[in-house]
Amino acid sequence: MTTTFLFIRHGQTDWNVQGRWQGFTDIPLNEVGRAQAHALAKRLASWPLDVVYASDLERAAETAAIMAAPHGLQPILTPVWRERGLGALEGLTQAEIHKNYPYLLLPRSFIEGPGSESYDKLRKRVIGGYNKLVRQHKGQTVAIITHGGTLRMIVSHVLDLPGRLFAPFHLDGNTGITRVHVDKKGQSSLSLLNDTAHLEAGLMFDAGG
C-alpha cells in the first residue's frame, strides 16, 4: 500500500518577480500566479486526490483553493507548511542581503540571519509535519501547497542529504510538482522534482526567488 505526496510550490507573487525573500511575510499571488494555479488545477483535475493541505500564508492558500476546486476539496490550512521565517532578511533582494549581511552568503550554506528560523526549528516543524501525515494518510494521495525553502527541506530529507548545505537541485518553478512515494515499510522515494510542464504553453514562469 503506497502513499503518494504531491508537494507543490505556490504561484508567483510580485516579490518573486522582484527577487525579494518572502519568508513569513504574507504576500498575495499576482495575476500570473493565479494563472499558474489554474493551469495546475487543469493538469491535476484527473489525478486521484484524497486531501489537500496548505501553508496558511495567502500565496499558498489561494493556490491550494484554486487547485483543489475541481476535486471538490477544501484545503486544510496550517502554519506547519509555511516558508521558513527569515527575520530581518524578509523583503530584501539577494543584492541587498549581500550588501547588509555579506557574512551570510556563503556558497551552498543554510542562512541564519537576524531573527530567522533556525535550521533545527525548521527541520522539526517540516519533517515532523511530514511524518505525521505519513501516519495519518496511509494508502492515500495527499497534496501539500507550500514554499521553496520548505520543499528543499523535504527533498533533502527524502534523499537523505547532508543537513545545513544546499544540495544541487533547483525549486524555482512556481507551482512545480514534486512527488514522493512512501511504501508499506515507511520508506520514502522521490519520483518527480519541480515539474512545471503545465506552464510550458504560456509565459507563466517566474524569475526565481
Q: In terms of residues, how long is the chain?
A: 209
Using CA atoms, how far apart are residues 12 and 79, in angstroms rounded to an integer?
19
Cell of 117: 528560523
Question: What is the structure's pLDDT at 142?
Answer: 98
Question: What is the structure's pLDDT at 136?
Answer: 97
| Domain 3-11+28-83+121-199 superfamily per CATH | Phosphoglycerate mutase-like (3.40.50.1240)
Question: What is the structure's pLDDT at 204?
Answer: 57
Question: What is the structure's pLDDT at 168?
Answer: 77
Which residues of the chain are modeled with pLDDT < 50? 207-209
Cβ distance 175 to 40 under 8 Å? yes
Which whole-number Å values give the CA distances from 127 to 35, 121, 132, 179, in the listed order? 30, 10, 9, 16
Using CA atoms, how far apart are residues 158 and 136, in angstroms rounded to an integer?
18
Question: Average model confidence (pLDDT) for the chain?
Answer: 93
Which whole-number Å values give the CA distances from 5 to 15, 60, 103, 137, 140, in the listed order? 27, 16, 37, 10, 8
Enter the pTM of the model.
0.93
Q: Which residues are catalytic?
A: 10, 83
Question: What is the structure's pLDDT at 202?
Answer: 62
Question: What is the structure's pLDDT at 200?
Answer: 86
Could you tell me which residues come within 8 angstroms of residue 45 by beta carbon, excluding any fewer than 6 positions away? 70, 71
- Report domain extents, the chain: 3-11+28-83+121-199
